[in-house]
Amino acid sequence: MFSRLAQRYDMVNDVMSFGMHRKWKREAVRLALNGRSRAALVLDLCCGTGDMSFLAETMGASGVIGADFTLPMLAVARSRGRKERSRASFAAADALRLPFRDGVFDAVTVGYGLRNIADPQQALSEIRRVLAPAGRVVVLDFGKPENPLARSLYFAYLKTMMPAVGWIFHGDPETYLYIPASLERYPAQRGVEHMMREAGFVNARYENRLLGTMGLNIGEAPGEPPPSPRAKRGISSESEKIPRPSASE
């Protein structure tokens, strides 16, 4: 599905969120770096066209790997990276079976990705595995407002707006109906907090944005941060050297 959206993905994001996704993504990356931009190695999982990967780099991460299993999204990310002279690398990877060693990342960001993963609990376990002790994960995604009125207005907005956007940008009103559909299934802020605890994260919590229509879930791997920079631990910064998972599109 995302293969079809790749070329117009960034423009449509701006339209759908009135540009506000940029601010939320910046906040997610800031929370993930947690004031520790120096020598932080960041995995941007479900990176899509690379928005949060580039943000992590400009916000000071010493190394960034964007990972996604949709090759056309990665192609856009790589092309943007070349234009922006970014050092971020991009790897084809399935969130359910990450091709990275245990404990190599200081932070993991997931922007609008967890909701789309077939088994979000398994993905959180994988994230937990690749995070270093005291490393942080931040999941940014659509949320579910607690207030019933706000919630029904919000779903009504999504169900009205999405067909219009799909029709305008792709000539197909059904293109973005996956968003409200996936959100119905998604456990959102409170459910993801619970899932993070199940996956072994500590200090799991969430922050709401825009009346809870957006959620930022934060969790930390247990333990003390290791003394030396993880960038020297032997992880390749070249996506070509990362073993390819059996990824589908």
Ligand X SMILES: C[S@@+](CC[C@H](N)C(=O)[O-])C[C@H]1O[C@@H](n2cnc3c(N)ncnc32)[C@H](O)[C@@H]1O
110-129: contacts with ligand X (CB under 6 A)? 111-113, 116-117
Specify the residue, 33 or 46, whose C-beta has the smaller distance to ligand X.
46
When asked if residue 100 is in the footprint of ligand X (CB under 6 A), the reply is no
Contact 130, 101 (CB under 8 A): yes
51-80: contacts with ligand X (CB under 6 A)? 51-52, 68-70, 73
Specify the residue, 106 or 126, whose C-beta has the smaller distance to ligand X.
126
Specify the residue, 157 or 202, whose C-beta has the smaller distance to ligand X.
157
Specify the residue, 105 or 112, whose C-beta has the smaller distance to ligand X.
112
Kindly tell me which residue out of 39, 96, 134, 150 binds ligand X, with binding defined by CB under 6 A.
Answer: 96
Kindly tell me which residue out of 95, 108, 221, 235 binds ligand X, with binding defined by CB under 6 A.
Answer: 95
Kindly indicate which of the ranges 105-113, 200-208, 211-219, 234-242 contains the residues binding ligand X, using the contact rule CB under 6 A: 105-113
- Any idea which residue has 């919630």 for tokens? 151
Structure tokens at 197: 């605890």
Q: What's the count of helices (H) and strands (E) in the chain, helices before strands?
A: 9, 7
CA 146 to chain centre: 23
3-42: contacts with ligand X (CB under 6 A)? none
CA proximity to 61, closest of 21, 94, 8, 105? 105
User: Smallest distance from the beta carbon of 2 to ligand X, in angstroms?
Assistant: 4
Contact 113, 94 (CB under 8 A): no
Specify the residue, 23 or 232, whose C-beta has the smaller distance to ligand X.
23
Specify the residue, 41 or 47, whose C-beta has the smaller distance to ligand X.
47
Name the phi and psi angles at 155, rounded to 5: -65, -35
Contact 49, 80 (CB under 8 A): yes
Name the phi and psi angles at 48, rounded to 5: 55, -125
Rounded distance between C-alpha atoms, residue 178 and residue 159, angstroms: 10
Contact 34, 136 (CB under 8 A): yes
CA 163 to chain centre: 24
User: Smallest distance from the beta carbon of 160 to ligand X, in angstroms?
Assistant: 20
When asked if residue 2 is in the footprint of ligand X (CB under 6 A), the reply is yes
Closest residue to ligand X, judged by C-beta, is: 48
Binding residues vs ligand X (CB under 6 A): 2, 46-48, 51-52, 68-70, 73, 94-96, 111-113, 116-117
